[in-house]
Structure 1
Amino acid sequence: MDERKIEKENRPVLFELSDGSEVEGEVFLRLYEAHHAGLQKVGDLLHEEKKFIPVRTKGGTLLINRSHIVVAKVPAQLEKDDLMTLGKKNSVSLKMIRGNEIEGDVFVNLPEGFCRMKDYLNQPVRFFTLIQPEFVVYINQEFVLSVHD
């Protein structure tokens, strides 16, 4: 075994890109994450500073430019944890730049006085988390036109 190889876990993801195309494949996650216990999450991967994310597809490995990922959809049974559902639940509908709408729940867990949906959306993060019954959906804020709560 190559000692330089870092062990990774694969996680299925469906990406919607800024040109409207979809890429289905697997991303590679670290077995440990610095910001929480356990396996790295797709959301952690999306918030890294790396410009390109490798995705193993049926056609081979594809490097996707993170800034052009509109939505990353991950099966809830693999990605969701209790920390994602802490705070005030807000059922929202997002109107996206290409005209489609995405619905789901956002959980706002911010300090007292800053726990409105507006405060959550104005955080300095690129992707925020939307919970659907079957999926955890990471939304790139750059491609959201409006949010109805």
Structure 2
Amino acid sequence: MLESLSVPKRRVAAQFVLPGGSSREVAVFLSEAAPGHTGGERLSDLLNNSGSQFIPAVDAETEAMTFVRCENLALARVAAELEPNVVDQFTIPTEHEVEVRLVDGQKLRGLITYVLPEAHSRLTDYLNSAPPFIPVLEGKQVALVNKRHVAYVETLRR
């Protein structure tokens, strides 16, 4: 009877990076459906909207269950196909190639993409209105960067 009440989850590989640069390969458990968009739950949904201070993850090497405090993550990486940038096909997104420098000195380069009303479409508007973890596309990965750990975001010339 209790099995019928469980929510189906899928196991998704991710990398959690702490302040200072230490990282762990983990698996997180995401729902097959997500409120607010089609398709399954994404890691960004879990980090930004869970309402939980801790999320469960399994260490990829040891299989030990770990409970990770979201606000203390500097960033989390996941395969880009698992974090699709949902943009209306009739809307041209704003894109910025950036370097993100974290408070601890770590830096990453990638692409920030978003859609905002034209009157409020500056990068600063997005950064100030974005959820706690902002997606930065790094080739075949998306880094979900915790804004609490960001020192600055610098735009790069394309």
User: Partner residue of 2:67?
Assistant: 63
- From 79, 95, 105, give the equivalent of 1:75: 79
The answer on 1:96 being equivalent to 2:96 is no
Give 1:91 shift: 0.2
What RMSD, in angstroms, separates the aligned Cα atoms of the two structures? 1.9
2:8 and 2:17 map into 1 onto residues whose CA distance is 27
Task: Pick closer, same or farther for the CA change 1:147–1:98 going to 2, 3 Å.
Answer: same
Unaligned runs of 5+ in 1: none
User: Partner residue of 1:46?
Assistant: 47
- From 118, 124, 138, give the equivalent of 2:144: 138
Give 1:5 shift: 2.0
2:102 and 2:81 map into 1 onto residues whose CA distance is 25
The answer on 1:148 being equivalent to 2:154 is yes
Contact conserved, 2:20 with 2:104, CA < 8 A, in 1? no
Which shifted more, 117-126 or 81-90?
A: 81-90
Contact conserved, 1:73 with 1:136, CA < 8 A, in 2? yes
Tell me the number of residue pairs that the alignment of Structure 1 and Structure 2 aligns: 149
User: Partner residue of 1:115?
Assistant: 121
2:110 and 2:88 map into 1 onto residues whose CA distance is 13
What one-letter code is carried by the residue in structure 1 that aligns with 2:150?
A: V
Give 1:82 shift: 4.6
Contact conserved, 2:20 with 2:106, CA < 8 A, in 1? no
What one-letter code is carried by the residue in structure 2 that aligns with 1:101?
A: K
1:126 and 1:78 map into 2 onto residues whose CA distance is 19
2:77 and 2:88 map into 1 onto residues whose CA distance is 15
2:99 and 2:40 map into 1 onto residues whose CA distance is 30
1:53 and 1:114 map into 2 onto residues whose CA distance is 33
Per-residue CA deviations over 1:23-80 (Å, capped at 9, x if unaligned) read 2111000100111001001000001211001001132110000110111100113333
2:66 and 2:44 map into 1 onto residues whose CA distance is 19
Alignment of structure 1 residues 24-35 onto 2, 5 Å: 24-35=25-36
Unaligned runs of 5+ in 2: none
- Sequence identity, in percent? 26
